[in-house]
Amino acid sequence: MTQINYNSSNVDLLNIEIQLLMEAIFLRYGYDFRNYSKAHIKRRVLHRLVLSNLSSVTQLQDMVLRDRGFFNEFLDDLSINVTEMFRDPEFYKSLRENIIPKLRTYAYFKIWHAGCSTGEEVYSLAILLKEEGLLDRCQVYATDFNRKVLSTAKEGVYQKNEIEQYERNYQLSGGLHKLSDYYKSRYGSIIFDKELSNKIVFADHNLVIDKVFADVNLILCRNVLIYFEKNLQDNVIGLFYESLVPSGILCLGTKESIKFSRHENFFEAIDTKQKIYKKKIG
């Protein structure tokens, strides 16, 4: 097996080569990871070196630049697609109790689920909306920059092995029925009812390089900002601010916050613990 060319004596070299690799990817393919958390990128790059039996990031860069198929594989390495249904049940509980009543006041509303990954949390949201009788009144945009995960999300077919955990999460989140009411089992997989995805548009959108999405009433973007450096995080929160209607709602991950961001004062907290914020009027 190839020995990786980095150790305690050339840590700087690794950092430099990774920076060059990110620049190369941006120039060649337009994906911008230059302001992502360096520690996260480093971990993923080193992991790829071992998997592909490469000894340096420069070798990796050569392959990434010349081989689109290999780049697509590496793109999967860089995006985190670990998710689950009703992840953080307390968040969904708060959404149901504190935000649904606000949405109910609109005749029609739009939701943007940014960084939806393989879609488990989008279906969770759709189930919640259906139970509250609001699914017919809304349009959900579910976006991600990774087309592979988007197509999984669109299909709504998932492995059955996590289903007990999902059922537990659903109950803890204040679900009104049984999760199994919303899917059919087939050959170790579960398939969500088409009725749930009828109102969802799955679209390719990159938070780092693409523009404002639409005039939306609610944005969910959970466990995405943790991968961004401070400035990029600020820019994306700005993008959300622009996208929201006045009094629109922004939901972040449990360990994310608008605290210390440039836009801190443009939002007020609705649930500090679950990181649910409201855009101030004016």
Where on the chain is the footprint of other proteins (CB under 8 A)?
7-8, 11, 14-15, 37-40, 42-43, 80, 82-83, 223, 225-227, 230, 233, 255-257
Tell me how far the alpha carbon of residue 238 is from its chain's centroid.
17
Task: Report the residue number, 23 or 90, with the smaller CB distance to other proteins.
Answer: 90
Task: Report the residue number, 2 or 198, with the smaller CB distance to other proteins.
Answer: 2
Task: Report the residue number, 227 or 241, with the smaller CB distance to other proteins.
Answer: 227
Taking the complex as a whole, the smallest distance from the CB of residue 23 to other proteins amounts, in Å, to: 17
Pair 60, 52: CB distance under 8 Å: yes
Task: Report the residue number, 40 or 199, with the smaller CB distance to other proteins.
Answer: 40
Taking the complex as a whole, the smallest distance from the CB of residue 36 to other proteins amounts, in Å, to: 10
Taking the complex as a whole, the smallest distance from the CB of residue 101 to other proteins amounts, in Å, to: 26
> Angle at Cα 133 formed by Cα 132 and Cα 135, nearest 5°?
105
Closest to 216 in 3D by CA, of 110, 100, 59? 110
Taking the complex as a whole, the smallest distance from the CB of residue 257 to other proteins amounts, in Å, to: 8
Alpha helices in the chain (DSSP H): 11-29, 38-51, 57-66, 68-78, 89-94, 100-104, 120-131, 147-155, 163-172, 194-197, 230-243
The CB density around residue 209, as the number of other CB atoms within 10 Å, is: 11
Spatial CB neighbours of 205, under 8 Å, sequence gap ≥ 6: 114, 143, 144, 145, 213
Token pair for 17: 């080569």
Residue whose token pair is 């939901």: 251
Q: Phi/psi at 207 (nearest 5 deg)? A: -60, -25
Task: Report the residue number, 15 or 58, with the smaller CB distance to other proteins.
Answer: 15
Taking the complex as a whole, the smallest distance from the CB of residue 80 to other proteins amounts, in Å, to: 6
Task: Report the residue number, 148 or 199, with the smaller CB distance to other proteins.
Answer: 148
Task: Report the residue number, 118 or 223, with the smaller CB distance to other proteins.
Answer: 223
Taking the complex as a whole, the smallest distance from the CB of residue 90 to other proteins amounts, in Å, to: 9
Taking the complex as a whole, the smallest distance from the CB of residue 102 to other proteins amounts, in Å, to: 26
Task: Report the residue number, 192 or 227, with the smaller CB distance to other proteins.
Answer: 227
Taking the complex as a whole, the smallest distance from the CB of residue 274 to other proteins amounts, in Å, to: 12
Tell me the C-alpha distance between 60 and 21, whole Å.
8
The CB density around residue 240, as the number of other CB atoms within 10 Å, is: 26
Spatial CB neighbours of 17, under 8 Å, sequence gap ≥ 6: 56, 57, 58, 61
Pair 199, 126: CB distance under 8 Å: yes
